Amino acid sequence: MTNRIVVVTIGKTHSGKTTFAKQLELQLKNAVMIDQDNHASFINAYYESLRPKEGPNKLKYAVTQSIIDYAVNQTDCHIVLCNSNLARKGRMEVLNYFRSKGFIAILVYFDIPEDVLQIRVKESQRSKDIFRSGSTFEDVLARQLKNEISVPEKDEADYLYVVRSNEVDVPMIIEKITEINERIRQ
């Protein structure tokens, strides 16, 4: 019987994924948040010469995968993955990996209105040290809005929750996830 959970966040920049993940990490006993933005910032600060100049940041993905592998194989922690996961193919690869390790998979999709995201990005005080070049969060959001997003479907995971309002939905979803944890521990 499985007794570990992976929570995978899905959403555009500034939709509330990191804030949610931090809150969940505090509420869900024995959980660790794994955030690719932290890995990008680390690489930019200490390994800029190894960072790919263009294309996918394979170094960031390798660092993330190493941390995930360690957390899965060397700990008994629940895992909260905090990155955008907007493409279904990549999301399914992540979910299949965790399922093969016996995890219960939970998707949390942040379906925040575009106008709200535009305001958040404009007013953001968030550090830009995760970027490789002169990119901005405005650039990231524009790119995300231009590309078609693969909205998650119920069959992708054991549970799917949708956040349309951070203030209303997040506390309820965190409560539901902690209840799932209580049930699997019994």
The string of DSSP letters for 2-31 reads ---EEEEEEE-TTSSHHHHHHHHHHHSTTE
List of the chain residues with pLDDT < 50: 1
CATH number at residue 71: 3.40.50.300
pLDDT at 4: 96
* Residue 185 φ/ψ, nearest 5 degrees: -80, -15
Give buried/exposed letters for 92-112 (b at 16+ CB in 10 A, else e). bebbebbbeeebbbbbbbbbb
Domain count for the chain:
1
pLDDT at 118: 87
Range(s) of the domain holding residue 107: 5-185
pLDDT at 53: 80
pLDDT at 143: 79
pLDDT at 9: 95
- Strands annotated E in 4-119: 5-11, 31-35, 78-82, 104-110
